[in-house]
């Protein structure tokens, strides 16, 4: 059996943010989304892009 499992490559280490030994996006599953880093004016533009009527259409079923 040669298929790899990666659980042993990460260990809990308390303290500040920690870099695991794996690179993001290795192996199965989706990679980290790639996005540009906006400044705060980009944030305002992002807010202005929001459809002010979006909440009227947003209907959900009750969950738990």
Partner 1 sequence: MQRLMGIETEYGIMVEGLGANDWVSESIALVKCHPGAGVSGWNYRGEDARRDMRGFTVQNLSTNPDDAQFDRPSAPVMSREEERSDRVLANGARLYNDHGHPEYATPECLSLRDLVAQDKAGERIMLASARKRAEARGLAVSLTKNNTDFHGASYGTHENYLMSRSVPTDLLIQALLPFFATRALYAGAGKCGVENEAGRRNPNTFQLSQRADFLSVEASVDTLHNRPLVNTRDEPHAAPTRYRRLHVICGDANMSEHACALKVGTTSLVLRLLEAGLQPSIRLVNPVQSARTVSRDLTFKEPLERVGGPAVTAIEVQRTYLDEAVRRFQGEDEETDWVLAGWTSVLDELGSDYTTLSDRLDWAAKYQLLDGFRRDENLAWGDLAMQSLDLAYHDIDPDQSLYYGLEQAGQMRRFVTDARVGAAVSCPPADTRAALRGLFVQRYGAAVRRIGWNGIAFEFQGEDLLFDMNTLVEANLAEYVGEMVGAGDLEQVVAVIRRTRAADEAGEKLTGFGEDGPTALGEKE
Binding site for partner 1 (CB under 8 A): 1, 3-15, 17-20, 22-33, 35-40, 42-44, 46-47, 50-64
Residues 11-36: b if buried by 16+ CB within 10 A, e if exposed = eeeeeeeeeeeeeeeeeeeeeeeeee
Least distance (Å) between residue 30 CB and partner 1: 3
Least distance (Å) between residue 38 CB and partner 1: 6
Least distance (Å) between residue 19 CB and partner 1: 5
**Tokens standing for residue 14:** 């308390």
């Amino acid at each position: 059996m040669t298929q790899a499992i990666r659980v042993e490559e990460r260990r809990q280490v308390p303290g500040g943010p920690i870099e695991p030994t794996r690179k993001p996006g290795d192996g199965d599953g989706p990679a980290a989304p790639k996005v540009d880093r906006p400044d705060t004016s980009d944030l305002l533009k992002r807010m202005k892009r929001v459809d002010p009527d979006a909440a009227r259409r947003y209907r959900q079923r009750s969950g738990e």
